[in-house]
Amino acid sequence: MTHEQLMAFLGNLGMLWIGIIAMIFLAPRLSIILPAKAVGSTDITIRKIWHASRGQTWRLALGSLLTYLPFLPLVAVYYAVSSAGPTQFDFAFFNALYYFVSMILNIIFVGFISFAYRHLVEQDSRRLASVFLPT
C-alpha cells in the first residue's frame, strides 16, 4: 500500500467516523423537531429544540440506538444470506422481512422522539409559562 493510498484510506475512515458520530449524537437531538412540525407548532425552532435537549444527548442517543437494536441481527442474517447466493425466494423473503421490520422500528423511533418532544419541549414550555404567567 502506497502512502497516498494509506492517506486516502485514513481520510475515508475519518469521514466515516464523523458521519457515525453525527448520526448517533446529533440526529436524535435534531429529530425532536419532527413531532413539533407534525402537530403544526410554528414557534418551535432548531435553536429551541437544541436548548431543550441540552444535557440529554446521551439519553437521546441511547434511546435511538435501542429502538434500532433489534434490527442488527436481521441485517446480519440478510447479508449472510445475500452473500451466499440466495435463491429468488430467499431474496424476496428477506427483503420483505427487512422492510417490514424497518417499518415497525421506524414507528417505534417516531414514538420515542414524540415522547422526548413532549417530555423535553412541552414540559419546559409549561414550566416557563408557570414562571411568567402565574395562575
pLDDT in tens, 41-59: 888 888 888 888 888 888 8
Q: Are 32 and 113 in contact (CB under 8 A)?
A: yes
pTM reported for the whole predicted model: 0.69
**Residues 7 and 92: beta-carbon distance below 8 Å:** no
What's the confidence (pLDDT) of residue 130?
58
Give residue limits of the domains in the chain: 3-132
User: For residues 32 and 16, what is the distance between their CA atoms, to the nearest angstrom?
Assistant: 24
Over residues 59-70, the pLDDT tens digits come to: 888 988 888 888
**Average pLDDT in the 5-18 region?**
81
Q: How far apart are CA 91 and CA 83, in angstroms?
A: 11
